[in-house]
Chains A and B, each alone.
Chain A
Amino acid sequence: MAARFLSKSSSGSSLLGALGTSLVGVGSVARQTTSKLTYSDIFFQQQRTFVQMGTKLKVVDNSGAKRVMCIQALKSKKGAKLGDIIIGSVKEAQPRGKVKKGDVVYGVVVRAAMQRGRCDGSHVRFDDNAVVLVNKQGEPIGTRVFGPVPHELRKKKHVKILALAEHIA
């Protein structure tokens, strides 16, 4: 059933074939928009993949930026997962902030729609893709962090972000 809908896909990317795992080099959301989809299929088809070049992420600190587009996921060819560092370009910013539109910044992915496996065997996933801007040393630029953050950050040594967080999931 899944392959049938992929073949009717009207989205620009040609993602025929592998549906189960990450789709390399393609947009992060494989959402079909044909009219023959039934109500229930629309919800099942959404495949969550890595944060990769072109992914727009929400910025959840008070550094001044609002949205950031990923231009490079460090440390992985496939893309960034929850807790990884990315390089991004600021696409939207607040008028008076530490960061301006067009800046190239480092960020830590604190919420990812793609599930990440934990060492006890469980999987976690969040509602959206969010990032906290960081400098090259890994310290956050802003002074506050909004929303829940995962405790994967502790292993990745982003202790300062955890300290600023409202809620640790």
Chain B
Amino acid sequence: MRLEKCWFCSSTIYPGHGIQFVRNDAKIFRFCRSKCHKNFKMKRNPRKVKWTKAYRRLHGKDMTQDSTFEFERKRNRPQRYDRINTEKVLQAIPKISKVKATRQKDHITKRLSVGRVNRRTEDRRELEQSISLVKAPSVLKEDATLTLPKQKVTVSYAQTENTPMEE
């Protein structure tokens, strides 16, 4: 039994699921469900379809290079059955998948953290500029806690301010 990857969306295909399509040049395409199969028949490029792993990896949304991927790489060399080895592998699999999951999550969090910072600065600016929509300026003047602390800035051209305008 072998867990294959869907050609279109790159999800794992468990036994009993999906369709295998063999083209006349003997290339085999495996699909996890009819959604992927139908998209393939429509000749859609998975690299352009937003929900596929191929798109996500290509556009940097998901982690691409990591040492944890090396464990899953397909090796065509058959290995003689070794009970100790098998036990070690079975114990290692959940550990590796946990590490991989945390690394993937961190990658996405890091990518999205830029947006969080931007949103905070945006909110701060909106608060400073549009607070008059919420409370009248006269009220704000009376109560100091409602506004952000004002900073005193010295200006060099103080004299020109006071010159009266000439008619």
Contacts and interface: CB of A to CB of B under 8 A. Distances in A.
Interface string A93-121: 00000000000000000010001000011
Contacts of A121: 15-17
Pick from B17, B18, B20, B41 the residue with the most CB of A within 10 Å: B20
Given A43-B38, A43-B42, A120-B15, A128 B20 contact: no
B22 A127 contact: yes
Given A43-B42, A120-B1, A120-B15, A128 B24 contact: yes
Contacts of B1: 120
Describe B's contact surface by its main secondary structure.
loop
Nearest to B37: A125
Interface residues of B, number: 16
A125 B24 contact: no
Interface string B15-42: 1111111111010100000000010011
A167 B42 contact: no
B21 A122 contact: no
Given A40-B42, A43-B38, A120-B15, A126 B26 contact: no
A124 interface: yes
Given A120-B16, A124-B19, A44 B38 contact: yes
Top 10 closest A-B pairs, CB basis? Answer: A121-B16, A167-B26, A148-B26, A169-B22, A123-B19, A124-B20, A43-B41, A127-B24, A126-B22, A127-B23
7 contacts: A44-B41, A111-B22, A121-B16, A121-B17, A126-B24, A167-B26, A169-B28
Interface of B: 1, 15-24, 26, 28, 38, 41-42
Interface of A: 40, 43-44, 111, 115, 120-128, 147-148, 150, 166-167, 169
